[in-house]
Amino acid sequence: MSSVRRAVIVLVSFQQQSSFQAVPLGAACIVSALKAHPAVAAAASVSLVDFSLEDTPFAGLSPAAAGEQAALRIASGEPSDVCRAAGTVIIGFSVYVWNRLVAESCALKLKTLLPGCVVFAGGPEVTSAPSSWTLASGIDYLLPGEGEQSAVDLAVSILESDTRTVAGAASDRPQNSLHIPSAPAPVLLQTLPPDLSKLPSPWLDGTLVNLPSVREHRGALWELARGCPYKCSYCYESRGTKKVRHFPAERLEKELETFVSSGIERVFILDPTYNANRDRALTLLSLIERKGSALHFNFEVRAEHLDRELAAAFSRIPCSLQIGLQSANPDVLKAVNRPTDLSLFKKKIGLLNDAGVIFGFDLMYGLPGDSLRSFRSSLDYAIALYPNNLEIFRLAVLPGTELFDRAADFGLIFDSKPPYLVVSTPTCPAQDLDRAEILARACDIFYTQGRAVAWFLAVLHPLKLKPSQFFQDFASFLSGKKVSEQSDQRTCEKLQLEFIRIKFREKQKAFLLPAVCDTIALNGAWTRALAEGEETRLSLSYHPEDLFSPDAMDLEYFTENACMEHCEVRVFPGAEGPDLEIM
């Protein structure tokens, strides 16, 4: 093989939004594997192109238009270097449920802009349902599963033939890489899962650390393991191997050191159930405490596997936990292979609250057997456990999952195109799903984006309303108002205070409003000082020490017993966290 770099290989990733979590780790793993192979490195330049669909020039465009715009940029050499290719051009896409339509549009446009280019695709959308892809999508090859080895095999085969398709005698190319030009579908290439100890790290070889989006948002996805021991029927992993494979401890320690030295601030842990292996979880938490305590970590855990020692270990590092509750209806959970002892769940969550660990829940509506009433009950159950946030999703019936195969048995009607959202079920017709969606949005704005966890139940108690009814009323209040899907906390606080005043007057509780509004305003200022580093000046009717006291959790008792004391207060970010000063 010639040492002249006559070829260009570009891996393309489309992110749904710009954030610290929007890291193209899947595509980067393929890039690292290609760069680490001597024959590929000698014959081609390999690069990663990362687009955010909410950034200029993609914001507001349809998936088809966004894909075409990306293709124009790639073909013109911005930010890729395909226009300088002296020979073969190979382009790969990392495809997920949120970007499939964009990727297909981009691939088709590239076929016209770069005649003869070879295009392959991998990722969950390929792995889950390879038969759903046709040559009309612009894709020549499909790489299901873990694509590091199959991507290398494909690249080597193409580069050795020095053509834009795999040609020559069958004995001269990998057995699983035959190219059939007249085939009605892309060629399927598949290999066994790789040995994780032999894979190069995209963090250690500079692929991700030097990516502009990573440098801008200072976030990292940290892959600790592959595989999942559980079989939740709505998840891709339900059909995957039940064996969990871990990356070597030596690699993880070096990656953690790289995060610290490169200015990363937030790390999202990629491990479907971080605490499935308790001893390993504790060992890694100890490592993080010793070497990464300046970073903030996000973990996905199972509540059932928590204990006091784990809760204490989490409490010693800056972190938050995300916990998949999905539903508080035992029959619904059983139907999707996720049986949960809700009394045990509540007990385990109590350990986190006792230890002061920040956590949130995932909820889903539209699951088999679920109803609007059942979803409202799940919402009430979840809020009562003091989660810091709620991530609420409409069920997506993903191809390749057990639920997809059994959809007819459950009577699920869903969209045949990404993101495959459920449209109706026997127990939750379309109009109820829409009502659940409105309720979920109201909860997100008031509770999660509004950062209401510290005071929400205390404020709700005098109103004698369940959380779901309160959020339903708030949804009606929002009707006709223009509210962004991603509002900042200040905007949400204005809405909170306006709505709270209405509800307390409606319930003949207006005498509580000075304490209620002070509580909301003071906590809001405190969280802004912590999260955004903002300073806020407040005029309060009560002393802040009283408002932060346990007595303020019972607002009626507090109002009867606390003395009103007008205070001008400055809340600001201090050396060790938020602080305040009485002016």
Residue range of the domain that includes 292: 218-394
Rounded CA gap, 207 and 48, in Å? 8
> Quick one: 173 and 235 in the same domain?
no
Distance CA 454, CA 292 (A): 27
Domains held by the chain: number = 2
Q: Same structural domain for residues 271 and 179?
A: no
The bridge status of strand 44-52 relative to strand 89-94 is unpaired
* 19, two tokens: 């954030």
CB 345 within 8 A of CB 304: yes
Per residue of the chain (583 residues), what is the pLDDT tens digit? Answer: 444 557 899 999 999 888 888 899 999 999 999 999 999 999 999 999 999 998 888 988 999 999 999 999 999 887 666 766 667 899 999 999 989 999 999 999 999 999 889 999 999 999 988 888 988 889 999 999 999 999 999 999 999 885 444 333 333 333 333 343 444 678 888 888 999 999 999 999 999 999 998 999 999 999 999 988 888 999 977 665 668 899 999 999 999 999 999 999 999 999 988 999 999 999 999 999 999 999 999 999 999 999 999 999 999 999 999 999 999 999 999 999 999 999 999 999 999 999 999 999 999 999 999 999 999 999 999 999 999 999 999 999 999 899 999 999 999 999 998 899 999 999 999 999 999 999 999 999 999 999 999 999 999 999 999 999 999 999 999 998 888 777 899 999 999 999 999 999 999 999 999 999 999 999 999 999 999 999 999 999 999 999 999 999 999 999 999 999 999 999 999 988 899 999 8
Q: How far apart are CA 21 and CA 269, in angstroms?
A: 10
Both 189 and 292 in one domain: the answer is no
Same domain, 226 and 109: no
Answer yes or no: is 561 within a domain. Answer: no
The answer to whether residue 559 sits within a structural domain is no
- Residue 136 placed within a domain: yes
Across-strand partners of 326? 363
| Residue at a domain's end among 370, 394, 418 | 394
Rg of the chain over all Cα atoms, to the nearest angstrom? 26
Burial class (CB in 10 A: 0-12, 13-18, 19+), 18: middle
How many CB atoms are located within 10 Å of the residue 454 CB?
18
CA dihedral angle for residue 324, residue 311, residue 349, residue 435, rounded to 10 degrees:
-40
Same structural domain, 223 and 356? yes
CA distances from 562 to 117, 277, 512, 543 (A): 74, 49, 12, 9
Sign of the torsion angle spanned by Cα atoms 197, 199, 202, 204: positive
94's torsion region: left (phi>0), alpha (psi -120 to 50) or beta? Answer: beta
Other Cβ atoms within 10 Å of 15 Cβ, number: 21
- Whether the CA torsion 238, 351, 554, 573 is positive or negative: it is negative
Residue 327: which CATH number? 3.80.30.20
Domain edge (last residue) among 347, 371, 394: 394
Residue 570 lies in a domain: no
Q: Decide if 102 is inside a domain.
A: yes
Residues 436, 428 contacting (CB under 8 angstroms):
yes
Please report, for residues 358, 493, 530, 541, the alpha-carbon distance to residue 571 in angstroms, rounded to integers and kept in the order given: 22, 16, 10, 15
User: Residue 11: left if φ>0, alpha if ψ -120 to 50, beta else—which one?
Assistant: beta
Statement to judge: residues 22 and 94 lie in one domain: yes
Q: What are the backbone angles phi and psi of residue 81, rounded to the nearest 5°?
A: -125, 30
On whether residue 262 sits in a domain, the answer given is yes
Whether residues 267 and 304 fall in one domain: yes
Same domain, 140 and 259: no
Same domain, 92 and 230: no
What is the token pair recorded at 78? 């911005």
**pTM listed for this prediction:** 0.90
74 located within any domain: yes
Q: How far apart are the first and last CA of the chain?
A: 75
What CATH number should be reported for the domain holding residue 66? 3.40.50.2300
238, 232 contact by CB (below 8 A):
yes
Of 162, 196, 230, which residue is a domain's last?
A: 196
Mark whether 157 and 259 lie in a shared domain: no
In a domain, 224, yes or no: yes
Which residue has tokens 């966890």?
Answer: 453
User: Looking at the structure, do residues 50 and 142 belong to the same domain, yes or no?
Assistant: yes
Query: What type of residue is 365?
Result: Y
**3-state secondary structure at position 61:** coil
Going from the C-alpha of 514 to that of each of 118, 484, 489, 538, 582, the distances in angstroms are 67, 28, 20, 13, 18
Query: Do 378 and 275 sit in the same domain of this protein?
Result: yes
